[in-house]
Amino acid sequence: MDFIYDYGAYIAIFLLFFLMLLTVPVFVSMGIAAFVATLLLEDPFHAFTGFVQTSWQGASIFELVALPLFIFTGTIMQRTDAGRDLFEVTKVWAGSMPNSLGVATITACGIFAAISGSSIATAATVGLVAIPLLLKEGYGESRAGGFVAGGGTLGIIIPPSIPMILYGVITETSIGQLFIAGVVPGIIMMSLFTLYVLLSRPSVRVESHYSAAQKMAITRGSIGVVLLPIVIITSIYTGIFTPTEVGALSVLYVIVLGLLQRRLNFTKLKEAATVATGTTSMLFMLIVFGQYFAHFLTFEQVPQAIAGAIVENATG
């Protein structure tokens, strides 16, 4: 019994990795590991009550309301051809510069990332439009996939980043400040990606000449989509709205825009809501069981033990 009390935390960590090696979902692995270890150290009553209390606390954090709102925004945009509009605008303005379609792909990914906050949604939405055209113009599968995959990663940095929301909730950091901190790095990353695409070889130049009037006409046709990231970033940066309020505003904006463009109907809205609900549920399960596992580690003073071991090794 003394062995269990001394090594309960190690048992939980070992069980966590063992279950994940068996391809058990991460949130289930965390929940089982913490629950079993608590049963070994405490009685069943404390194991059950601890799980219920920490789960409720983890799921009832107000800031988490922003999570499903931005996810819902992204799923609606996927079903209203927003990716096509963004790519068309960026393609026109990229013109006939070297690797112009690659530049257009990166730029479209950056703009869509500032709407959805999701790398997966960004890559899927823009890639659906960009990859066929990139392949047609001779970029090759590896380069076309690389452009979309690289541009998709901008969703992690550029606000409203979903990983930033999760990080802010878990670490109790201001989500608004995290969003503000991500603006400049996101722009720098997008600029560096664009520069790399411009300089990459072999260069593919698409001969496309658009007059200023044509560029403005195409931009006006997609102005609703282009303005949304500006509204989101400006609202957060100026502090006019909280991240949760910006999420609600984004949902309303894309619904009204989709209805005005006659690209959104009840069926598409239902599909978007279903996908958003599934994604949100998955993330909430990770948060809830992650909070439970973290609570167990804190109760067992694992962070303090790790810090003490590091200090002891550092001081010799």
Amino acid at residue number 271: E
Give the residue extent of every domain in the chain.
2-62+285-314, 79-264
The mean-pLDDT minimum among 28-32, 61-65, 132-136, 205-209 falls in 205-209
Which of 295-303's residues contact partners 24+ apart within 8 Å by CB, and which partners?
A: 295/34, 295/50, 295/54, 296/9, 296/12, 296/34, 296/37, 296/38, 296/50, 297/9, 297/12, 300/8, 300/9, 300/12, 300/41, 302/9
Within 8 A by CB and 6+ apart from 128, the residues are 83
What are the tens digits of pLDDT across the range 243-269?
A: 888 889 989 999 998 898 888 899 999
What are the tens digits of pLDDT across the range 211-248?
A: 777 778 878 877 888 888 888 888 877 878 888 888 89
Q: What percent of the chain has pLDDT over 70?
A: 90
- Segment 59-65 mean pLDDT: 77
Query: In this structure, how many other beta carbons lie within 10 angstroms of the beta carbon of residue 170?
Result: 15
- The number of CA neighbours under 13 Å toward the Cβ of 266 is 0
Amino acid at residue number 52: V
What are the tens digits of pLDDT across the range 1-60?
A: 444 455 667 778 888 888 889 888 888 888 888 888 877 777 777 777 777 877 777 777
Cβ-contact 79, 264 below 8 angstroms:
yes
pTM: 0.77
